[in-house]
Amino acid sequence: MSNYQFISDYKQIEKYKESFLELATQIFELDFKEWNNKSCWNDNYICYSYVDGDQIIANASITKMVVTSYGKEYKVIQVGTVMTHPDYRQQGLSAKLMNHIINKYEKDYDYIYLFANNTVLDFYPKFGFEKVQESSFSLKVADLKKQVVQKSTLRKLDVDDESDFELMKEFAVERIPVSSRLGVKDSEGLLMFFLILVFRDAIYYIEEEEAIVLFEQEDNQLHVFDIVSKKPIDLEIVVNHLVSDATEVVHFYFMPDSDNENIQSALITETDDTLFVRPVLKEEVKHLLMPLTSHA
């Protein structure tokens, strides 16, 4: 352990950055390099790592964000990209990185939160994190208010097309939270990560609504992952643009703003992405869902 050096915020140091990107690709099977090459790694994303020589061997990153809920704003840190090279596990490196992040940020931020997979559910409570059960939100198309909307042509956006990509970046920077109930601000780096690496084949622009929508239709189910807009949108008008004759149920991957009392919420009982929050939430929240495209 004594030979390992602790480093942080090294995105300008090429040899460390390259090693970080390689380890992230190896551990998460996602190629972070395109996200970096397209200049989406900004100052809100900071790595805390151990190196052995020039090789990143363990990491925990933070993303600085603002979470909004019912007109209130909270300064938050989200921990992500927690990883250790297989040859260096069982040495307590992740625990040391977690303690460093907590000590550095807990006084200046309202909350620190993260998402954990099923292999590490016992790890995070040791650091004062509490598991929070999220909910799912859906709407039967039969209960959708049939708005008189001229169905707009959905224009598919291409991450590799320069003008499309500029449009995405502009919307990512200027977006307003997707919901007044629970949303995020100042997280364009994360949103661009999802656009480039996760949903690149599911990005559409609705010109009439001036909104970018991430969605997929799967048999009779419509999955709306995010709606990116610079101004308030009418959720049901947007959904009316997306549904086909085959669609029976719409699933939202954020907390929808709508006066439609038919939107159903249910506690999520099985997930490989469990939310942990620190300090413990004071108020018991019946149903909440962090927007999917804000997961680090």
**Which CATH number is associated with domain 137-267?**
3.40.630
Distance, CA of 100 to CA of 184 (rounded, Å): 25
pLDDT value of residue 150? 65
| The two domains 5-134+269-294 and 137-267 share their CATH topology (first three levels equal) | yes
Listed by start position, the domains of the chain span 5-134+269-294, 137-267
pLDDT value of residue 2? 58
156 φ, ψ to 5°? -70, 135
The segments of the chain whose pLDDT lies below 50 read none
Centre a 10 Å sphere on the Cβ of residue 166 and count the other Cβ atoms it contains.
10
Residues in the chain: 296
pLDDT value of residue 241? 92
Q: Which residues pair with 115 in a beta bridge?
A: 275
pLDDT value of residue 260? 80
What tokens appear for 222 in the block? Answer: 């419509």
pLDDT value of residue 148? 56
CATH architecture of 5-134+269-294: 3-Layer(aba) Sandwich (3.40)
Which residues, in sequence order, are CB contacts of 249 under 8 Å at separation 6+? 138, 139, 140, 141, 220, 221, 222
Which residues, in sequence order, are CB contacts of 218 under 8 Å at separation 6+? none
